[in-house]
Chains A and B, each alone.
Chain A
Amino acid sequence: MVLKPRTRIGMLVVIGTWFLTGCWDRHELNAIAIVVGMGIDKVGNEFRVSVQIVNPREVSSKGRGGGGSLAPAVTFEETGATLPEAMRRMTVLSPRRLNFSHLRIIVFGEDVARMGIRKPLDYISRDSEMRNDFYLVVAEGASASEVLKTYSAMDPIPSNNLNTKLAISDDLWAGTGKITLNQLLVDMATQGKSAMMTGIRVTGNRKVGETMENNRRIVPEANLVYSGSAVFKEDRMIGWIDEAETKAVNYVQDSVKRTLGIVSCPDGGKISLSVVQSKSNIRIRMNRDTPIINVYLRVEQDVSDVECNMDMSQMSTIDWINLQGERKIGDIIDKAISRVKGQLGVDIFGFGVEVHRQQPKAWHRIKDWNEVFRHAQVNVYPHVITRRIGTILQSVEHQTKGRG
């Protein structure tokens, strides 16, 4: 068979490529260790990195382990002067090549958070294998490695458990607030806003939490719980805010999807109100060099339960509930703002960003926004609308008392 010169060269090139690739980035599934969680602590001058790896044999539906004889995940720890060094040194521990593409969560120890997270963040955002859809959290009163060593209930992989737990509570409770890498980097770089990171605590008996025993109980001995948020000034953590304050931040930042609040009735009972939609609008006016910040909130809510004797058929009752809801929300936000202003002295609400946008001239005269924020006047104007009151009209309390 005689080939044209062009065809001959073409074939040579194609065949050549096969020998030249070396398949450098080819890794079979049973040759990689899927890293799902990463913890960063500081030990002396060095970083201590913990890496949580899935043991796929124990996780899949067709697990051959016979009811969990092996741990579903393995956590390795290694120290290094820099993060990459610790990672490479990890190869002496891990039997397989670490693969970071399915990282679910990164935990910072409180120590490292207080000392500044700029250095580890560089590696995390520079590495090509890591995506940026994982969450970043700070371990409250614990080291990151302790968090990654704790067994989790239901979802056998702790990091997965943490990931879904955070996503769901952010969606339904708004008292947590999930932070991804991009958001954190933007917040840290923005002058008019300080960064926040979700906090995580290990509750209960940590010793039992590190054994499989924890998963054999109906009530786990130890658990990983999200609580409040860590507040950062630039890259250093300066303090904690609690759940209600986190929720206030979410209200102002327009990141409340759904949540629940309680107001008191005149007769001492309580009404639960579930927020189904919330929209915030921040307007800035300048009084000379002091900004006046007006936060307008439009909240839609459903009545979840009525534990007091009220005539729910009256429009006036609904109006009263709306008013109580507005007061409650205003109260939460006012309290949070005054505590953040007074004790932490940083703007985690992002008011500075709005000043920059709406009053650019005034913004350029401001040297230290946090200082200005401390004296700024913040007014909150919530507007609450009740949409649905559920499947019954009158409360059970009203029905039974009214007849008796």
Chain B
Amino acid sequence: MNHVQDTADEALSYQLKDNLHRIKQDSGNSSDIKCREVHIEISGAASVKGIVAYTDGLSDSQALLNSLMNGPFLFEADSGHSSSLLIYLKDHVITESGVTEIESITTLFDHLLSGDSILLLEGSNSALAIGTKNLKARQVEEPNVQAVVRGPREGFTEVLSWNTAMVRRKIKDRRLWIEKKTIGTVTKTEVAIAYIDGIVAKEILAEVRQRLELIEIDGVLESNYIEEHIQEKRFALFPTVFNSERPDVVAAQLLEGRIAIMVDGTPFVLIVPAVFTQFFQSSEDYYQASVFSSLIRLLRILAFILALVTPSFYIAVTTFHQELLPTTLLYNLASQREGVPFPAFVEALMMEVTFEILREASVRMPRTIGQSISIVGTLVIGQAAVEAGLVTAAMVIVVSITAIANFVMPAFNLGITVRIIRFLLMALAASFGLFGLFLGLIVIVVRLCSLHSFGVPYMSPLAPFRISDQKDTLFRLPLPMMKKRPVTIPKENNIRQRDR
């Protein structure tokens, strides 16, 4: 299903002219493909004509040209003149570290377009690809989305090799294995699978390899392209693949026996298998005191529940179950509702949708305008709507607490899930009251319990319950007490700390 017909893989010609013509033709005379003619001087013989082809902006061929023009070389000409000259240049002249011999047009382009320089010689049907990659990319910066108060400040970048290097710097062990493969028939994006041999479970690794193998797509521009292909369900509400832009998180997950999938061109690294409780954990949990981290985790779960059910619970209680409210609170709410023209559900829907609009606007807006958005948001919605009697002040509080609680969750993708489910629960609560709300919650719990991520039950270690993993699920016990790696993720070696 190739969207672009690949030209048939052909061997290189002996004629330099033909090869040059081929490069020009296949790349459609693209202006960024540069071909520089060189003459290799040989002492005691005629110079040999050659071509250095490179992609403008991707490679730095200055040093290569310097060394090629540093002749005459003490090369003893014999039969098969050009081919052995190529070997000679590779062994004695070219100073760059990565040099590959290539013999076909396809491989030539693969190297040329990823930043290598290609050296072609007259009378040789092979060429050299010389590693002259010089990437212009964003430097290592502090991660934007997953920021911490205490902990490493570096985040992944768009360059795969830098990213693998950052992980390697954390895990200096030969058992950290990184497999590379290319996905995307057109983009030919490099994807790396990183894992720690001896910890990772072989069957999960095989599953990951197989699922990646099955991807047949023209382009991979971000890791979500991969994520949507390898996740369990097409219409997944709950994320079954974890992602992070922090090398320390990836390193920690690898140590627990998970597998990282790093995609060139994005700082977001995928981590599988993912379990539900993982989305409530932040790397900072391990950089702060354990008591504090445990409390913060409980707070996150509370925030999750608040973000999920506050509006629907409010709707259900005020429109169906007034008897559940304390009497004074009922007077208070009833007095606020005097003269409000909409039913509680419409009121809540209006406020929630307005908030979603505001949030989306502030994400797309240039930073400088963002401030005016928040002023409009607070003034128009918070105050004016209440004063105009269109919504109750209580509803503004409900929507605000929901919105703020939504941001407490460390995983952004779970936050999106909560936002979607919130609206479904509101509709249920508005038509069936608490009965509907709890029915909805039961469906969600059943759904969560039926999910798997690469063979691991999504709700583990809560369901199935694993007592030994509770040390690092809802609570975070002191690190010296975590002698074993969590058993939730299958693995070969479970010992984290040896007993003394």
Contact = CB atoms under 8 A, between A and B. Distances in A.
Contacts of B430: 23, 26
B484 to A, nearest CB: 41
Contact of A28 (B331, B344, B433): B344
20 contacts: A17-B432, A25-B320, A26-B319, A26-B430, A27-B319, A28-B337, A28-B344, A29-B319, A29-B337, A29-B344, A30-B337, A30-B339, A32-B322, A34-B330, A56-B334, A60-B334, A60-B336, A102-B327, A104-B327, A160-B327
**Most chain A CB atoms below 10 A, which of B320, B334, B430:** B334
Interface string A98-114: 01011010000000000
A62 B427 CA distance: 30
B324 to A, nearest CB: 9
B322 A21 contact: no
A257 interface: no
Contacts of B319: 26-29
**Most chain B CB atoms below 10 A, which of A26, A27, A32:** A26
Interface of A: 17-18, 21, 23, 25-30, 32, 34, 36, 54, 56-63, 99, 101-102, 104, 129, 131, 160
Contact of B322 (A23, A57, A101, A104): A101
Nearest to B235: A1
Interface string B332-348: 11111111100110000
Contacts of A23: 430-431
B322 A27 contact: yes
A56 B432 contact: no
A75 to B, nearest CB: 17
A18 B327 contact: no
A102 B320 contact: no
B334 A29 contact: yes
B78 interface: no
Interface in B429-444: 430-433
**Most chain A CB atoms below 10 A, which of B327, B333, B337:** B327
B473 interface: no
B432 to A, nearest CB: 6
B402 interface: no
B335 A101 contact: no
B204 to A, nearest CB: 28
Contact of B338 (A26, A56, A129): A56
Given A27-B322, A29-B318, 16 more contacts: A17-B432, A18-B427, A21-B432, A23-B430, A23-B431, A27-B320, A29-B333, A30-B337, A30-B338, A32-B334, A56-B335, A57-B335, A59-B331, A59-B335, A61-B332, A104-B327
A99 B323 CA distance: 9
A104 B337 CA distance: 22
Contacts of A57: 335, 338
Contacts of B339: 30
Contact of A30 (B320, B331, B340): B340
B331 A60 contact: yes
B321 to A, nearest CB: 9
B8 to A, nearest CB: 37
**Most chain A CB atoms below 10 A, which of B323, B331, B332, B343:** B331
Q: Shortest 3 CB-CB distances between A and B: which pairs?
A: A101-B323, A60-B335, A56-B335
A62 B335 contact: yes
A104 B330 CA distance: 13
Nearest to B341: A30
A25 B327 CA distance: 20
